[in-house]
Structure 1
Amino acid sequence: MSPASPNSQLSTLNSQLLKQYWGYDNFRGIQEDIINSIGEGKDTLGLMPTGGGKSITFQVPALAKEGLCIVITPLIALMKDQVQNLKKRGIKALAIYSGMSRQEILTTLENCIFGNFKFLYISPERLDTEIFRTKLQRMNVCMITVDESHCISQWGYDFRPAYLKIAEIRELLPGVPVLALTATATPAVVKDIQARLHFREENVFRMSFERKNLAYIVRNTDNKTRELLHILRRMSGSAIIYVRNRRRTKEITELLHNEDITADFYHAGLDNATKDIRQQRWQTGESRVMVATNAFGMGIDKPDVRIVIHLDLPDSIEAYFQEAGRAGRDGEKAYAVILYAKSDKTTLHKRIPDTFPEKDYIKEVYEHIQYYYQMAMGDGQDCVREFNIEDFCRKFKYFPVPVDSALKILTQAGYLEYTDEQDNASRLLFTIRRDELYKLREMGENMDKLIQTVLRSYTGVFTDFAFINEDSLAVRTGLTRKQVYDLLIQLAKQRIVSYIPHKKTPYIIYTRERVEMRHLQIPRSVYEERKERYEKRIDAMLDYVTNDTVCRSRMLLRYFGETNEHNCGQCDTCISLRNKEVTGQPSSKELTAKLLHVLSRQAMSPAALAGHLSVEKETLIDLLHELLDKDQVIAVDGMLQIKK
């Protein structure tokens, strides 16, 4: 009997690992094709929609190889979640993300060299640090995984310059294969990802983006909040509501509370403890609805979301598809609904000058940054400065949104690096010697307890700043978080400690010296070409919501380069067309317009109205229920009339 081929042995091992660690008997979709490809050492790009099981495509082949898998992802929530899940399965994994001290990062990197760990999750921004690159060359790396790989493409909707450093990492690890994964990529982005990651040859595996259990709906309405409440009352189950800004998350949550619907709000400005608590409440069902900006959802796996509602339009099909795809990941029927008003078109077009302000405006922002930091001509290179955008805008009379966009364009043009909010943990340093600390008079039971807990929990606090966690100190001392904070402030005022509380701070890093404004160049590739692509994405989003003749699922699939010959049969367009074709009935929109027109002339009974409009009784009853729920129509003594 001939021995099994290496490929056959590898395939058997992969199946054994899947069963051993995840308990599954079989791979799903294209998982096995991707695993076999990267297992054979080939650079591989996997296109898998949200919920397609991306993590297994790199976790299984990494376990089958000797050495460490480096996973590059911008999602801190995903890092923490996956590291925790791997540890539960007995797999050694680590992560490096913002908020960690230099010593914690060093320890983590040393563990990757000597500790027989299988996975290191790291953000793209960390790839460019000297400490990482030095330690990397001593690691036994078996493969690199690039999650959210569309971020490397300037053709993509979410380009992040830090991703461009991945190609440099590949040069330090010759022969190590790369697995790129994304849930959203147009044909142009697919080619660009492979080129920018220096694929040795093109190698793409595609999973159909069709979601057969997900019904895409667009509702035209002039009263979005009323329509929102109508939908949430008619449907049961967990929901996500996406809105454009932080202020709206709070407003909509308060509206839902007033209507006895349990809800929480979520955005990037919340501290991590609050995010975790709210996410947990929503995950367990204690809170039914999460009202959020686009900061919510990445790396969060809740399979039983029954409905995703967009109150505000995203500015790209890619963003919409990813957010809508968080519904129905358990395979059961779910809905993705956009509430669209005519005013949304104007609002969406206004984002173009906000995202791409005039070049002269960008140059002025650059000049005012120099005044803000009192940066001399020719100085600045490698300088790092905290950036308070509200303070800057107040001093120079700007609005924050276009300033944020101007700084991102200057980043891409290579003049500076503008980071998003970095989560900086609290820091503490004792400014008196240990023996002096013990000579202090009695400071109270709570203070003594806190000082002793700090000394037991953190090392080196008399020689250098230590990163501390007030929540952890509160648990260990039995005090509240506010009590811990107040006591630390008291110690700082008495000059016993230097205490820097946790804060979220964006940074500006000068990547080159300050130049004169007249010499500042913004290339066409950074401005005009990206602006054109942004405008096309907005036009595609508007085409999607204003269409009433083409199946919505087919529109989405066509955008991502996938041809589909059949209609989904469940989106609002399909249902409307089917009613028209099969029964000769007018579409729901046409019927509503006719009904309201008839009732504007005179009140009618339901039976008389059915005869007047020549529609089936069931169709009319459904429509009347909807109009009565919305208070557009009322019944008085059995007669229907328009509500004045």
Structure 2
Amino acid sequence: MTSPLQILAQYWKHTAFRPLQEEIIQSVLQGKDCIALLPTGGGKSVCYQIPGIILPGVSLVISPLIALMKDQVDALQQKGIAAVAIHSGMQKEEVKQVLLDASESAYQFIYCSPERLESPLFNEYLSLIPFSLLVIDEAHCISQWGYDFRPSYCRIVETKKKLPSIPTIAVTASATPLVLADIQIQLGLLQPSVFKQPFIRPNISYSSFESESKINKILEILQKVPGSSIVYCNSRKQCKKIAEAILLQGISADFYHAGLNQLIREQKQLSWIQNKTRVMVCTNAFGMGIDKPDVRTVIHHDIPDCLENYYQEAGRAGRDEKRAFAVLLWQQKDLTELIQNGEKKFPPIPIIKEVYQSIADFLQIAVGNGEGIYYDFDFNSFITHFKLDPLLVVNVLRILEQEGHIQFNEQIFLPTQVNFSTDTETLDQFEIMYPSLEPLIKALLRTYAGIFYNRISVYEQTLARICRSDIPTITMQLKQLHTHGIIEYLPRKETPQIHFLVNRAPAQFLHINQDHYLQRKKLNTERITTIIEYASLSKACRSNFIGQYFGDNSTVVCGVCDHCLDNKRTAISEADFNQIELLLKANASNGINTEVLMREIKNISPKKIWTVLNFLQSENKIIISEEKRIFWQFKNQ
């Protein structure tokens, strides 16, 4: 059998594993359940992908985001490894074909959203597919005590019960001890092996600045530190504004957020990955699943609402293990706003019910209807019509998700759907009459199996490449075929959508688990307090602070964060200390002015001198008058 190290060398071109990777892989290969808590950039995917390659069957990987699944599948396919993703943008026939192929071992990896696990079609094929490994990626989503709870994750355990003879591996980068324990309970893991890497990233220098002009500070950092960079912002408008300001300084920059269409997002992302764009200014919609090792700086223009998010985003720096910088910028008003937004994140239950009623009115859903239906949701029209606070609405949608009523995704992408609505004889005649459309017809029939009888997802970019055309022309020709009655054409959707999981309830009877809701609210307040404490931390090591938050009490000072570097700069040698002390004693009778002291001792920095003065003052050995004159206290010698 090929060894894990040989697989690593063959597909990843590495000659050695990172810490704990090999131990985790061996545990999985021995058929044991395990939980792997590895920091961002710690190589989590390798820990289950290598066993998935070695084991004889199919690995089922549960992942929360379509974009994350797509990046992982693309990366595996580029290595020549058979992988596929099943997501909400696919039609029933497409999913059925994937599952049928999987039952014949056509794939080594199937990536799947937790919602898809519950579909009758998936369960129909579950026993037919030779699964050998169950992987839960972003496993912290299973805990309602975590920062990113997804109710659909709680139902993964039902699938696990149907696959009792295969090992389970749950992986995450950001779980506190409370969440880690909950992962084990929710998945029903009995005595799993738990692997935890230290949270300290020795090559990342963390720093935090209270800054009057954030854009000037960003420009200063980018001018001092060359190389690829990410700048995170909370608003889409701010992304564009900051990218333009950076461009004005002659630094290559672009902006990215979920409001851009998918093709533009992919083009921007590729340009940044290829280093054609140096700085990506973005919302947190950017970065998940992207493995770019040479990011030198991650700058947060706005403070995230929890340390988990900050750690994950900052961890996208320095994955090549070379020196990198994670910088948090803030102002006092940001901290006040963070606390206020925390209150909006968990509004009173009567307010939740009012917003729920407004959503039902806006979408025109009667009581007892809506289950299983996707509704286009024009967010801006909704908040304008009902005069609601945007942040409040986003948070209510998230709460309704967590309570199992709906699914909401502002980044949803439903591909173009096509199926032929004519017979073969008519189609042959049409091709003769309209020869300019023949290449597209042939491309559709040859590329997408079953499209003549079933509605299939098609991709304009693929068709444009096959037809040696461009996307606008392909889109126009699809519309022409639809107009002539040759195909049924449903254009791609990128509008936000609400999916009702259960029928719409009367608002006054909307079920919300009040005890759990209030507990989540309390934990959220604690997370906000922690990120504020991190931002305004004085003197203590930032890496050590992060590690302790995540339960890593073994962390030592990193030596490279802003405070550790500052402490090194102010470290006083015994000789320097004695020199200052002797000069103070020599001028004990009349005292000495601090400015004169600084001039007399030129070989020691003013900062170090003040460190000594503060120490001596705290020991009651000196008195510093209001006129900044220092007097030695002989009685305390």
- Same fold? TM cut 0.5: yes
Q: Deviation of residue 610 (structure 1)?
A: 11
Contact kept? 1:413, 1:526, Cα under 8 Å? no
Aligned to 2:552: 562
- Residue 352 in structure 1 maps to residue 337 in structure 2: no
Q: Structure 1 residue 424 and structure 2 residue 380: aligned?
A: no
Q: Which residues in structure 2 correspond to 1:353-502 (within 5 Å)?
A: 353-431=343-421, 433-436=423-426, 446-447=436-437, 449-458=439-448, 463-493=453-483, 497-502=487-492
**Correspondences of 1:543-582 after superposition (within 5 Å):** 543-564=533-554, 566-582=556-572
Instruction: Kindly report which structure 2 residues correspond to 1:5-24, keeping only aligned pairs within 5 A, or say none.
Output: 13-24=3-14
> 1:57, CA displacement in angstroms?
1.4
- Any idea what the Cα deviations from partners look like across 1:483-537, whole Å, max 9, x if unmatched? 3323434554565554322112444333334333332242224421111111111
SS in 2 for 1:427: strand
Alignment counterpart, residue 45 of structure 1, candidates 28, 35, 38: 35
Tell me, in whole angstroms, the C-alpha distance in 2 between the residues paired with 1:491 and 1:531.
53
Match of 2:55 in 1: 65
Judging changes above 3 Å, is the alpha-carbon distance between structure 1 residues 564 and 107 closer, same or farther for their aligned structure 2 residues? same
Per-residue deviation, 1:299? 1.3
Contact in 2 for aligned 1:239/1:289 (Cα 8 Å): yes
Of 285, 295, 304, 2:275 maps to 285
Q: Give the Å deviation of 1:274.
A: 2.0
> Shift in Å at residue 439 of structure 1?
5.1
The answer to which of 219-228 and 339-348 deviates more is 339-348
Between the aligned partners of 1:581 and 1:240, the Cα distance in structure 2 is 33
- The AA in structure 1 aligned to 2:540 is V
Using the alignment, how far apart are the partners of 2:114 and 2:536 within structure 1? 38
2: CA distance between counterparts of 1:37 and 1:193? 18
Shift of the 379–326 alpha-carbon distance from structure 1 to 2, 3 Å rule, reads closer
Q: Partners of 1:543 and 1:609 in 2: how far apart? A: 38
Q: Against the structure 1 CA distance between its residues 575 and 387, is the aligned structure 2 distance closer, same or farther, given a 3 Å change threshold? A: same
SS of residue in 1 equivalent to 2:308: helix
**What is the identity, as a one-letter code, of the residue corresponding to 1:328?**
G
Which residue of 2 is the match for residue 160 of structure 1? 150
| Separation of aligned partners in 2, 1:613 and 1:268 | 60
Q: Tell me the distance in 2 between the aligned counterparts of 1:202 and 1:449.
A: 56
Matched, 1:306 2:307: no
CA distance in 1, matches of 2:455, 2:315: 44
Aligned equivalents of 1:17, 1:494: Cα separation in 2: 53
- Measured in 2, the distance between the counterparts of 1:43 and 1:328 equals 30
What does residue 4 of structure 1 align with?
none
Q: What do residues 366-416 of structure 1 show as CA deviations (whole Å, max 9, x unaligned)?
A: 222332343333444444433332333333232333222112212322333
Q: Return closer, same or farther for 1:89/1:227 CA change in 2, 3 Å cut-off.
A: closer
Query: Could you say if the C-alpha distance between residues 81 and 375 of structure 1 is closer, same or farther in structure 2, counting changes exceeding 3 Å?
Result: closer
Q: For the residues of structure 2 that align with 1:446 and 1:19, how far apart are their CA atoms?
A: 49
Q: Which runs of 5+ in 1 are unaligned?
A: 1-9, 585-607, 621-644
Are residue 516 (structure 1) and residue 472 (structure 2) matched? Answer: no
Residues 615 and 393 of structure 1, relative CA distance in 2, 3 Å threshold: farther
Name the % identity: 39
Give me the whole-angstrom Cα distance separating, in 2, the residues matched to 1:617 and 1:261: 38
Unaligned stretches of 5+ residues in structure 2: 575-594, 608-637
CA displacement 1:169-197 (0-9 Å, x = unmatched) = 01111232210111111111110111111
Shift of 1:76: 3.4
2:209/2:330 contact within 8 Å kept: yes
**Aligned pairs, number:** 587
Query: Structure 1 330/491 Cα, relative in aligned 2: closer, same or farther at 3 Å?
Result: same
Query: AA paired with 1:466?
Result: I
Within the alignment, does 1:194 sit opposite 2:192 as a pair?
no
Report deviation, 1:441. 10
| Deviation by residue 1:41-97 (Cα, 9 ceiling, x = unmatched) | 221001111221222211222333332211111243443343344344443322223
CA contact (8 A) 1:67 1:116 kept: no
Query: In the alignment, is residue 55 of structure 1 matched against residue 45 of structure 2?
Result: yes
In structure 2, the residue matched to 1:113 is 103
3-state SS in 2 of match to 1:318 = helix
Deviations 1:578-603 (CA, angstroms, capped at 9, x unpaired): 3334279xxxxxxxxxxxxxxxxxxx
Q: Does 1:97 align with 2:87?
A: yes
Aligned AA (2:159): I
Q: Which moved more, 1:374-383 or 1:284-293?
A: 374-383
Question: Alpha carbons of 1:349 and 1:37: their partners in 2 closer, same or farther (altered >3 Å)?
Answer: same
1:288-313 Cα offsets, whole Å, 9 max, x none, are 11111111112111111111100000
Q: For 1:587-629, what per-residue CA distance to the aligned partner results, in whole angstroms no more than 9, with x for missing partners?
A: xxxxxxxxxxxxxxxxxxxxx9996798769889xxxxxxxxx
One-letter code aligned to 1:113: S
- Counterpart code for 1:158: D
The residue type paired with residue 472 of structure 2 is: K
Amino acid at match of 2:365: M
The CA deviation at 1:209 is: 1.0
